[in-house]
Amino acid sequence: FYHEKVIDHYERPRNVGSFPKGSTDIGTGLVGAPACGDVMKLQIKVDDATGKITDVKFKTFGCGSAIASSSFMTERVRGMTLDQAGQIKNTEIAKELSLPPVKLHCSMLAEDAIKSAIKDYKTRR
């Protein structure tokens, strides 16, 4: 049913955790999926000089597809500018991980979370 990439990210999720509170170079996104009630927290650390994302962390209690989508997202956005990262669509992630249609909302959590983290970083600057 699930692609081996999903299983891999589910069993060995990348960049799980959160950054210490109080840093100014961090943006935090906290979003929910109305379909299932799951919640995702994703944080970016940004190099103020270059405007690039230098590190990413996430935490969720969501399903295997949500874990895989956000783990994949954290690897994808590292090194990107905020503009580049803000343009990633959940459909790209879903395609890359071969998620079934019923699981599209889980990849949407990852897209919403990175957008929300970028917005938070910009607000705090």
The residues annotated as belonging to the active site are 36, 106
d(CA 82, CA 22): 20
Whether residue 45 contacts residue 25, with contact meaning beta carbons closer than 8 Å, is answered with yes
Phi first, then psi: give them for residue 87, nearest 5 degrees: -100, 0
Among 26, 53, 66, 117, binds ligand FES (CB under 6 A): 66
Spatial separation of the C-alpha atoms in residues 13 and 19, rounded to whole Å: 17
Q: For residues 43 and 65, which CB has a smaller minimum distance to ligand FES in the complex?
A: 65
Q: Pick the binder of ligand FES from 33, 44, 46, 113 (CB under 6 A).
A: 33
Assess 27 for contact with ligand FES (CB under 6 A).
no
Binding site residues, ligand FES, CB under 6 A: 33, 36, 38, 62-63, 65-66, 106, 109
